[in-house]
Chain A
Amino acid sequence: MHTTLRKLALLLLIASCNPLPAGAQGKCTAVSPDCVAVGEWDLSVALGAGVRTNPIAGRADIPLVVVPQLSYYGKRFFLDNLEPGFTLHEGVANTFNVIAAPGYDRVFFSRGDPQNVLVSGPLGSAGGGAGGGLIPPEDDDSPPTYPNHRRRTTYLAGPEWLFSYGRFAGQLSALYELTGRHHGYEIRGALSAPLIQTEHSLVANAGFTWKSAETVRYYYGVKGLYRPDAALNPFVKLGYSRVLSGRWTLSAFVHYEYFSGEIADSPIVSDPSVVTAFVGFNFKVF
């Protein structure tokens, strides 16, 4: 892990010493899907239909009905939904932040997770609870049950590098779990590129999440039975939007994440991938 962090630190250092060519997006001069006004709150709510599949055996898929988005960008401080951060440097091509972000895996274990409560509306009955006890069987043909510990809300924090290169935008972050639940690490990286930029916007994303052994064991390990190592999960995401008026936007996205064998081989995991899809109308409140 420390070797990986050293490599990441070196990568960040190289990036800061050799500025990349500015992207085609250039400097922000007006509000757009990629640019926000400094010092103003932005609240919007998407109403629609979608689902996030649940890879945990016996757990129900997560419906997506309401997707609120709240953001504030000051000159340095920002809040982007559940992710606060502080900008150390912002340039045309490179930006360096320190951010805090929730651990995403808990959404599969607890319908009460903030990331689920905010997007799913009223809590459903299927798969409720905080993740303690036994993984319940789906039916008589289900695999055997396993002792299951409670997965609590976690937050990770660390540096983030955002960059643009030509028509590509990228980000890389190295995060450490600081809420004291598993003391694991995550490295998140992604590249995105616009495929269509007319009145229709279609953006493709591809990336990965690397989770340290501590992180993977906290969520997918089974005491005395399964002790996984670190895992690297790739993903792709396609996002579409079309502005309909000053307040309304048609939005849709589909996100596919594939689990590394360390997670997919866990006895509590029944599906090696997660698909999240949503289509709806986004209303800008202010």
Chain B
Amino acid sequence: MRAQWRSTRNESLCLVIVDQPHIRRCWEQHSEGVYSVEVAFSQDLVVQLRDTELDRVLASQAIAVIRKALQFRRKRRQPWSIFY
């Protein structure tokens, strides 16, 4: 996952992922930031920018999991049939 933020003025903030406390990246007095991390997830992710005390949510973005997992199986052959 690659997250990028930008502001019109310098900010002190942290990027966190809800329910994944081990992922956190903070900036002190920056107007932009980029953070890349490898993450595996099976539920929707919510990525947030918070103040450095983590009390206030400044921005939030959800990443949805596409749930249509198709299953496949082998098709029978019918060499006797007229239908191929």
Contact = CB atoms under 8 A, between A and B. Distances in A.
B74 A38 contact: no
Contact of A38 (B71, B78, B79, B84): B71
Nearest to B72: A28
Given A190-B77, A192-B77, A276 B72 contact: no
Contact of B80 (A64, A69, A97, A104): A104
Interface residues on A, range: 35 or more
A28 B73 contact: yes
Nearest to B83: A81
A107 B81 CA distance: 11
Interface string B55-76: 0000000000000001111111
B82 A64 contact: yes
Nearest to B70: A37
Interface in A229-245: 235, 237, 239
A235 B79 contact: yes
Contacts of B70: 37-38
| Chain B interface main SS type | loop
Interface residues of B, number: 15
Contacts of A75: 71, 73
Contacts of A235: 79-80
A104 B72 CA distance: 29
Contacts of A237: 79
A168 to B, nearest CB: 12
Contact of B73 (A33, A35, A171, A207): A35
Contacts of A273: none
B82 A52 contact: yes
B72 A83 contact: no
Contact of A71 (B74, B75, B82): B75
Nearest to A207: B79
A207 B81 CA distance: 12
A71 to B, nearest CB: 7
Contacts of B83: 67-69, 80-82, 119
A81 B78 contact: yes
Contact of B74 (A35, A190, A276): A35
A39 B70 CA distance: 9
B82 A67 contact: yes
A34 B79 contact: no
Given A38-B71, A39-B71, A253-B84, A80 B79 contact: no
B72 A80 contact: no
Contacts of B80: 104, 188, 190, 207, 209, 235
5 contacts: A31-B72, A35-B74, A69-B83, A83-B81, A171-B76
Which 10 residue pairs are nearest across A and B when measured between Cβ atoms? Answer: A28-B72, A38-B71, A205-B79, A81-B83, A190-B79, A36-B75, A35-B72, A37-B70, A237-B79, A69-B83
